[in-house]
Structure 1
Amino acid sequence: MLHDALVNYGYPVTTIHGAMSQKDRDKIVKEFKDGLTHVLISTDVIARGFDQSQVNLVVNYDLPVVYNNPTQPDNEVYLHRIGRAGRFGRKGAVFNLLCGEKDEKIMEKIERHFDHYVAEVRSWTSNEDFEDALKKAGLM
């Protein structure tokens, strides 16, 4: 659904997930590395070991939670996900989409775990807030 929506808005998008064959996943990663697309939608299938210098923005469509305890964040997976942005001395940013009280509580636990406050940009604020966040991250 996300892939189709972005394509409909005119973005060239690549999507990768665990149900694909390794051959297909390798092909998609190569296309992304070669710059054929600038947006890669992924499940946690590439949360680890995906060291691409051109990744400067990660959007967590959902927050990772412990498999058998969905009220607890999976901090290790979160760290691997956000670690994709700004690698190799480059600047990067991470946006976490929070869709309710459950997500807010999980984000609070992540912040406590890493002892780091994550700045909030509310969806009902102006585009200036998003642009300001991107400027602070060195992406605009």
Structure 2
Amino acid sequence: MLHKELVDFGYEVTSIQGALSEEDREKIVGEFKDGLTQVLIPTDLLARGFDQKQANLVINYDLPEKYQSYSEPNYEVYLHRIGRAGRFGRKEAAFNLLCRERDEAVMAKIEHHFATQVTEVAPWHGEEEFKKAFGAAGLL
């Protein structure tokens, strides 16, 4: 659904997940590396070991939680996810979509764990708030 919506907005998008063959996954990553697609939507399949210079934005569609302990963040996976952007001395931004109260509770635990203040950009603040957030991250 996310893939389709982004394509409908005019983005060149590819998606990758574990059910694809190794050959198909390599092809998709290659297309992203070569700049043929602007957006790559991965599952946690690429949480580790995906170091691409052109990756400067990570959007967590959902927050990683421990398998048998929902509402308990998987800190290691979160760190690896957001670590995909901003490598090689580049600026980065990571957005986390928080849709439920549980998401807010999980995000609060993540902030506390990493002792990091997260800037909240609420959807009702509009496009200007997102531009400010991107500007603060050095992405505009």
Name the TM tier (shorter chain): over 0.9
The alignment partner of 1:15 has SS state of strand
Aligned: 1:59 with 2:74: no
User: 1:10 offset after TM fit, Å?
Assistant: 1.2
User: 1:8 offset after TM fit, Å?
Assistant: 1.2
TM-score (norm 2): 0.98
- For structure 2, the 5+ residue unaligned runs are none
User: 1:9 offset after TM fit, Å?
Assistant: 1.3
- CA deviations on 1:6-53 (whole Å, 9 max, x unpaired) are 111111101000110111000100010000001000100011000001
In angstroms, what is the RMSD of aligned CA positions? Answer: 0.6
User: 1:127 offset after TM fit, Å?
Assistant: 1.2
Runs of 4+ displaced beyond 3 Å: none
The alignment partner of 1:30 has SS state of helix
Equivalent position of 1:8 in the other structure: 8
Aligned: 1:118 with 2:114: no
Equivalent position of 1:92 in the other structure: 92
Give the structure with the higher percent helix: 2
User: 1:126 offset after TM fit, Å?
Assistant: 2.3
The alignment partner of 2:123 has SS state of coil
Percent identity between the two aligned chains: 63
Equivalent position of 2:134 in the other structure: 134
- Return the alpha-carbon distance in structure 2 between the equivalents of residues 37 and 126 of structure 1: 26
- Return the alpha-carbon distance in structure 1 between the equivalents of residues 92 and 22 of structure 2: 28
The alignment partner of 1:102 has SS state of helix
Equivalent position of 2:43 in the other structure: 43
